[in-house]
Chain A
Amino acid sequence: MNKQERNTVIRAKGLSKVYREGATELRALLEVDLEVRTGELTLLMGPSGSGKTTLLSILGCILRASEGKLEVLGEDVSLLAESELPRIRRGAIGFVFQGFNLFPALTAAENVALALDVRGVRAGEAKKRGEELLAEVGLAQKARSFPADLSGGQKQRVAIARALAGDPPILLADEPTAALDSTSGRTVIELLQRLARVHGRAVVMVTHDPRVLSFGDRIIHLEDGRIVREEKSVMGAMETSSVLEVQSAAPAMAPEVSI
């Protein structure tokens, strides 16, 4: 097993997702192969409706693929029962959302502690760890603030602290800088990059934001539910490492409607 294989935490093979509504089929994802590795910040890019969020949802074990195989930390989750998926999410994955999804009734520290409560950590310990995580994202002084009293950037950092609460090897972020000004956006992307490169986590981030491109270790481009191009950062410059040809039968295979 080479180093690249050792670092692979998510291995997706032939992932497809079809939504059915009555007689209509919505093909959101088509035969996607992907590996996600620790120590890398992977950016998922593509136009609206290209399947980025669907792919992120499947990688995060929130949504099941219609076809294909998905391994998370070596465990084939495609074979697991629905009731097993929360265990995978708790143990392996942290989520960061575009809209922060913080609980407005809880303070910053309580928001982070809640992620530990979900994992069965006792209240006192969860509170202490919550404050430590906030300190790690530079928000120690905001531990007792409610989300309504925080700026967008601060909210996203609280959300990142919450995502780190279970010490997951994988972080999945959905456009985490989209709602932020340039300064806050830069702080957040730097934090995510540090979590990948310094702390050795695998970070996958859906983005439309051109400001963050230079931070990515890999950029995966999706169109119409397929990966059409992958770029890798080599010595700070992006190199296209592969281009997946759209099959000649593309018109027949193209999604009727993509989301």
Chain B
Amino acid sequence: MGLLARRNLFHDKVRFAVTLTGIVFALVLIIIQFGLFLGFTTTTSNNIDHSNADLWVVFHGVGYFDTGRNFSERKFYQVLSTPGVAQAEKYMQAFGRWKRPDGRVENIQVIGFHPGSGLGEPWNVVQGSLADLKQEDSVVVDELYREKLGVQKIGDRVEIGDHRARVAGFTRGIRSFTTSPFVYATFKSSLDYTNPSSSENSTAYILVKAGAGVSPKELQERLRARLADVDVYTTAEFSRKTRFYWMFTTGAGLAVLTAALMGLIVGVAVVAQTIYAATMDHIREYGTLKAMGATNRYLYRVLIEQAVWSAVLGYGAAMIVAHFIVQASERAGAVILMPWLMSIGMLFLAVVMCVAAALVSINKVTRIDPAMVFRG
């Protein structure tokens, strides 16, 4: 029966190409839509997830990353003096105005951190180094935004909030979910760029690293007990809150989620239609097999083997196409993520979709019409 399944699939090459195209189209559609969804959610919490911190101390009521609100640095010292705290760093997030060399102005999100601290630093630096940020008025931006920010190379000079700034490095792949690119600077510079009148004795966030043998949850409880007017979240909690905000509080997230679900529905429909049509093309042959005494179990095995072949080959081709699209997205405005778990899930989905579609069509065979078999 294996021979029949394979031959039926490959004998008519045009039919096979159509079947494969349908499956590839459906899988690539699903991968792109869910990849966009994953890219979207990941981008919203990127700075939190890469912070290397165990806990985030935020102004009371701040629900997500992009609306940091300053509070007194006395909290910072309270944190530092809490037993179980191995390290704490002040961290800034605020919107600013970037004046390009050609005079055009762009909105940016300034991230202030302490270079070398290991907490809240930008990642994937591909040009320059974070150590160069220690030079006054230096910033690091992502190479994705070279054009938008009007800078091409290290040393290019701009103005941020009427302060001079010099590009000291470039990262790769740090997108901003908003239209305002992230610009990384030292904590002190970030204050100058965004709110020169504010005191250096304030911070928007405190990033905390727990000491050896102290669990983040345990430390979180201790800090909550000691600190007033601030909230203390584990990194995972703050990341989740930020993602949740963008996903469900704003229409944008729901739109992406809906598009992903629509992609899944359309993809399933395309695969079902493709496999159904391919099976129905051979319905007379299955009817003949049935007349010859083939059991339903035999027919199921032929159809399932055929469906699995279609799914595996379609999946392979879809992964190649998706790989190129994902790579292209790395240089584009919206990132498409395809983690390995999703890749495996897609194989499972492809097999399930193809087999289910084939089994739906076999109902026609099990309720065989003798006239179909006997008439030429």
Give the residues in chain B near A229, CB-CB below 8 Å. Answer: none
**Given known A57-B370, A106-B3, contact A86–B285 (CB-CB < 8 A):** no
* Complex interface bits, A136-168 against B, C-beta within 8 A gives 1, otherwise 0: 000000000000000000000000001000100
* CB pair B295 A86 closer than 8 Å: yes
* CB pair B374 A57 closer than 8 Å: yes
Q: Report how many A-B pairs have Cβ atoms within 8 Å.
A: 91
* CB pair B293 A62 closer than 8 Å: no
* CB pair A62 B292 closer than 8 Å: no
* CB pair B373 A90 closer than 8 Å: no
Give the residues in chain B near A106, CB-CB below 8 Å. Answer: 3-4, 7
Of B8, B298, B370, the most chain A CB neighbours within 10 A belong to: B370
Of B3, B290, B292, B375, the most chain A CB neighbours within 10 A belong to: B292
The residue in chain A whose Cβ has the minimal distance to the Cβ of B376 is A99
Please pick, from B7, B292, B370, the residue contacting A115 in the complex, using a CB distance under 8 A.
B292
* CB pair A110 B3 closer than 8 Å: yes
* CB pair A175 B376 closer than 8 Å: yes
Q: How far is the CB of A139 from chain B (nearest CB, A)?
A: 19
Please pick, from B293, B371, B376, the residue contacting A179 in the complex, using a CB distance under 8 A.
B376
* CB pair A118 B292 closer than 8 Å: yes
Q: How far is the CB of A129 from chain B (nearest CB, A)?
A: 15
Please pick, from A56, A118, A178, the residue contacting B293 in the complex, using a CB distance under 8 A.
A118
In the complex, A100→B291 CA distance in Å? 13
Q: How far is the CB of B292 from chain A (nearest CB, A)?
A: 5
* Count, chain A residues at interface, CB 8 A: 39
Asked if B52 lies at the interface with its beta carbon under 8 angstroms from chain A, I say no
Give the residues in chain A near B295, CB-CB below 8 Å. Answer: 83, 86
* Complex interface bits, B117-148 against A, C-beta within 8 A gives 1, otherwise 0: 00000000000000000000000000000000
Asked if B289 lies at the interface with its beta carbon under 8 angstroms from chain A, I say yes
* CB pair B376 A105 closer than 8 Å: no
Q: Which parts of B270-295 form the interface with A (CB within 8 Å)? A: 284-285, 287-295
Give the residues in chain A near B1, CB-CB below 8 Å. Answer: 117
**Given known A97-B288, A98-B375, A106-B7, contact A86–B370 (CB-CB < 8 A):** no
* CB pair B4 A62 closer than 8 Å: no
* CB pair B374 A118 closer than 8 Å: no
Q: How far is the CB of A204 from chain B (nearest CB, A)?
A: 13
* CB pair B374 A114 closer than 8 Å: no
Q: How far is the CB of A16 from chain B (nearest CB, A)?
A: 16
Q: How far is the CB of A140 from chain B (nearest CB, A)?
A: 21
In the complex, A179→B294 CA distance in Å? 26
Give the residues in chain A near B370, CB-CB below 8 Å. Answer: 53-54, 57, 60, 62-63
Q: Which parts of A23-38 form the interface with B (CB within 8 Å)? A: none
In the complex, A175→B375 CA distance in Å? 9
Q: Which parts of B218-272 form the interface with A (CB within 8 Å)? A: none
Q: How far is the CB of A21 from chain B (nearest CB, A)?
A: 13
Asked if A211 lies at the interface with its beta carbon under 8 angstroms from chain B, I say no
In the complex, A57→B374 CA distance in Å? 8
Please pick, from B12, B289, B294, B376, the residue contacting A97 in the complex, using a CB distance under 8 A.
B376
* CB pair A101 B11 closer than 8 Å: no
Q: How far is the CB of B11 from chain A (nearest CB, A)?
A: 3
The residue in chain A whose Cβ has the minimal distance to the Cβ of B368 is A62
* CB pair A118 B289 closer than 8 Å: yes
* Complex interface bits, A58-78 against B, C-beta within 8 A gives 1, otherwise 0: 001011000000000000000
* CB pair B376 A90 closer than 8 Å: no
Give the residues in chain A near B368, CB-CB below 8 Å. Answer: 62
**Given known A53-B370, A57-B374, A62-B368, contact A166–B293 (CB-CB < 8 A):** yes
Binding site for A on B (CB under 8 A): 1, 3-4, 7-8, 10-12, 284-285, 287-296, 298, 368, 370-371, 373-376
Q: A95-B373, A114-B3 are in contact. List 19 more A-B contacts (CB 8 A).
A: A53-B370, A56-B374, A62-B291, A62-B373, A90-B292, A101-B373, A103-B4, A103-B7, A103-B8, A103-B285, A104-B11, A105-B10, A114-B289, A115-B292, A117-B1, A117-B3, A117-B4, A118-B294, A174-B375
Report, nearest first, the 8 A-B pairs whose CB atoms are least far apart: A99-B376, A90-B293, A105-B11, A57-B370, A105-B7, A89-B293, A98-B376, A101-B288
In the complex, 23 of the A-B residue pairs with CB atoms within 8 angstroms, ordered by the A residue number, are A57-B370, A57-B374, A60-B291, A60-B370, A62-B290, A62-B291, A62-B373, A86-B293, A88-B293, A97-B376, A98-B375, A98-B376, A99-B375, A99-B376, A101-B287, A105-B7, A105-B10, A106-B3, A118-B294, A118-B298, A119-B293, A162-B292, A259-B371
